[in-house]
Amino acid sequence: MSHRIRKEKICLNCGTETPGHYCPSCGQKNLEPKQSIWHIIGHAFSDITHWDGKFFTTVKELFSKPGFLSNEYMIGRRMRYLDPIRMYIFTSAIFFLIFFSYVDVKHLILGNETTKVIKSDSVYVELAQGLKARKDSLKNLDVPLNKRKPVIQIYSDSLQKTKPGDLNINVATSEFDTPGAYDSAQKLKPASERDGWFTRRMNMKAIQLNQRYKNERSTLVRDMLENFMHSSPKLLFISLPLFAMLLKLLYIRRKNFYYVDHIIFAVHLYIFTFLILLVYFGLKELKLVTGWGLINWLIAALLIYPFVYYYKAMRRFYAQRRGKTILKYILLFIMSGFIQLFIFVMGILFTVYET
């Protein structure tokens, strides 16, 4: 019935002659088109379990054999593992979903705001003087509400120097209350003394933000942080081909490596980083719940392992001597640091513009 092989040996999907059970062109099974509900459920279950099997096999090889999956993909052994692009999309989606629930910028306590307690999915975070490590805030639960310490705090020189209620985000435009006033003042100046295009746009944006938020400085900071966080997946995705370009430059004399090979290698490194951070979040939560001191050692090892992993991955994938690999490993980290800084600055500017 629904699972029977069709007598006609022509693929319903692409029209190719299909002597066997599967089309030699597109791979579709040559079944009767009408399916029962049980067949649909069984087929969906089969696809899910098959995907899960590939996923865990891929993760196992990814963690235990740095650079191995990239080599396998390069030589054409791909069916037993998840496609790297699909896996990147899946792992990045899971990572940012958990990350956004882990860090709640809407409830940040900024500067001299009223002290209050914030709880987000049993996650307590304290960021003080440059985002310090989280403290065990569960002790705070036994303290009366009006005496509890703030759970999330961010301090900065600009917040401490400014009086509560003052909004000071201007860029040399404090004397102008409206964009029109600033624009008129610019037109009165000689052409050689007018602000450049970039400065003009930033000044206009600063005036608009002053108008929109007025005395709500904290709201402005939260909105900007939230916008920046939600643009981070796009910024990270943009950094991926740039990272691959660095690899291409470092191994430019290796003619057997194409740019797409460096892309696949970079994708696997990014996937590994997502997964290792997810494990880190899990260990932090386990430490918060259990209080086991042993977990601190596991976290320390987890933070060291990526540096060893990246080196081993480069060594295996590019198959160069240890000295050359170490040198290129150091150069890669230095150059990628500059690229990440550039992308971060551009992200900040974009966030200001979009706020």
Contact residues for 180 (Cβ-Cβ < 8 A; gap 6+)? none
Task: Give the residue-averaged pLDDT of 42-69.
Answer: 78
SS3 154: strand
Q: What is the pLDDT of residue 194?
A: 85
C-alpha distances out from residue 5 to 22, 61, 104, 262, Å? 10, 37, 54, 43
C-alpha distances out from residue 20 to 6, 50, 176, 265, Å? 10, 22, 78, 37
At 186, is the pLDDT very low, low, confident or very high (cuts 50, 70, 90)?
Answer: confident
* Beta carbons within 10 angstroms of residue 274's beta carbon: 22
65 burial (CB, 10 Å; 0-12 / 13-18 / 19+) is middle
| 41/50 Cα distance (integer angstroms) | 14
168 or 178: which leads in pLDDT = 178
Condensed to tens digits (0 to 9), the pLDDT of residues 217-275 reads 777 777 778 788 888 888 999 999 999 999 999 999 988 899 999 999 999 999 999 99
Contact residues for 123 (Cβ-Cβ < 8 A; gap 6+)? 101, 102, 104, 285, 288
| 49/53 Cα distance (integer angstroms) | 6
In this predicted structure, the answer to whether residue 101 has a pLDDT above a threshold of 60 is: yes
How many angstroms from the chain centroid is the CA of residue 49? 27
Sign of CA dihedral 160, 163, 167, 169: negative
Domains of the chain, by residue range, sit at 58-102+221-354
